[in-house]
Amino acid sequence: MSTTLPERTEIGTEIACSAEPPHRTELPRICPAPRVPLVTGESVPYANLDLAASAPPLQAVADHVAELLPYYSSVHRGAGYCSQVSTSVLERARDTVGRFLGARTDDVVVFTRNTTDALNLLARAVPGVVLSLDSEHHANLLPWLTGPHRVLTAAPTIAQTLENLRAALAADPVALVTVAGAGNVTGELLPLAEIADIAHAAGARLAVDAAQLAPHRRIDIAATGIDYLALSGHKLYAPYGTGVLIGRRDWLDAAAPHLAGGGAVRAVTVTGDEAAAGWAPSPQRHEGGTPNVLGAAALAQACRALDPVIDHDAPAHEQALLERLLDGLATVPGVRPLRTWADSTERVGVVAFTVDHHPAGRVAAYLSAEHGIGVRDGKFCAHPLVDRLTGADEGAVRASIGIGTTADDIDRLLTALRGLTKRGARWDYEVVEGRWAPSPDPRDLDPLGLGEARPGATPGAPACA
């Protein structure tokens, strides 16, 4: 692949290419994908185009976790050697993640379960009204419902959306503005530094849902003016169950503990029939219970592995594949890619689309069953936006790419879509417990030998699938 690599630019601005490409660094390797069975009897290497939902682990992450496992022990209060090693790994991970994301020296790095958990934590700490866009993922929409909040409808252009944001803040100030750095439906980027300036000028702080941005672009919290940032390890090639909230200390130290329990306190006393706690400052204040040491270590190792390539090589690799995908989709009859803003100029490797006369769920089932391709279908936990963009109850199909994606993966998807629109599927499909599935489905869906889930145990897909 030959492409000119971009110089590092401010997040949300158009990439300006340099005349001379900088030195290339080899992209980190992904753990090998399995071969998967098709309904027709063959098996093929899995083409994972669902990285926006969960990315596979980097090989370096899997190796790091395996190396750490013999030392795994409880942290912070253990005198044993393994406890001390595990404590050091956890706190070093906190520093590593903060540096990778450009945190200020006095920012707090709190480990959480995922982005949703991190934003729910922040929601309990905001001392006032929160303003979000209606185009947000549910993780950056639903947590704010527990307190005073307002929702601003995303305009047809970014320019008009920002103008409306200025007007909304001038008319009725808020404590926090919150946006996604990259949309999980269309992959389009917002100008975060400009939004930070708008929020700060109105006396508000800015929170960024970076779940879809961090795997694709360098983030510099301090330079961009972000006050709080949340992300998930499972989207950043570290699927071991950890997320993070990074941000200013004052709100977090004043908030009630996110999870009351051991480790979150300095002292506990009982007087008569009442107990009282002296809570620790952040981050311990919000990390009650035994933390996910392996998850934190995995997230930190992913940051170390991505750091040499996240400025140039990874974005260049993904941009070439994104252009290949968009150019190819333009040649498939009846395929319509979705777009939120007419004036957006930059996006990460996330593309949602509809196919005329083919329900999104049936398309996804066909791609899996007949071609071994994994995509996402539905409304992607962004109901208001997808409803507006599609007007269809079933939503859309989403293909998402990353550093492990190949040109062959893209071409296999395009070939499969052309076959579907020209000749139709070779197999029958029906809705089973709320999801489209092959009928019959001869594939072995229990390759690990654990026993298949009992019928009715998972009654249909969640509404935001």
Tell me what percent of the chain is helix, strand and coil, each rounded to the nearest 5. 35, 20, 45
Count of positions (residues) in the chain: 465
CA atoms within 13 A on the CB side of 28: 25
**99 contacts 305 by C-beta, under 8 angstroms:** no
Catalytic-labelled residue, pool 17, 31, 303, 381: 381
> CB 301: neighbour CB atoms within 10 A?
28
Phi-psi region of 35 (alpha: psi -120 to 50; beta: other; left: phi over 0): beta
Burial of 16 (0-12, 13-18, 19+ CB in 10 A): exposed
**30 contacts 433 by C-beta, under 8 angstroms:** no
Burial of 423 (0-12, 13-18, 19+ CB in 10 A): exposed
**110 contacts 94 by C-beta, under 8 angstroms:** no
What CA–CA distance (Å, rounded) separates 237 from 243?
A: 12
Please indicate whether residue 31 is annotated as part of the active site.
no
Strand pairing category for 265-271 and 35-37: unpaired
Name the nearest CA neighbour of 122 among 92, 153, 146, 101. 146
What CA–CA distance (Å, rounded) separates 285 from 270?
A: 20
Strand pairing category for 47-48 and 373-374: parallel
Name the nearest CA neighbour of 199 among 228, 220, 219. 228
Reading the block at residue 405, the tokens are 């994606």
Reading the block at residue 20, the tokens are 């001379």
What CA–CA distance (Å, rounded) separates 309 from 316?
A: 10
Contacts of 287 (CB under 8 A, 6+ apart): 110, 111, 258, 259, 263, 264
Alpha helices in 101-157 (DSSP H): 115-123
Instruction: Please compute Rg for the chain using Cα positions.
Output: 23
What CA–CA distance (Å, rounded) separates 418 from 412?
A: 10
- What are the catalytic residues? 381
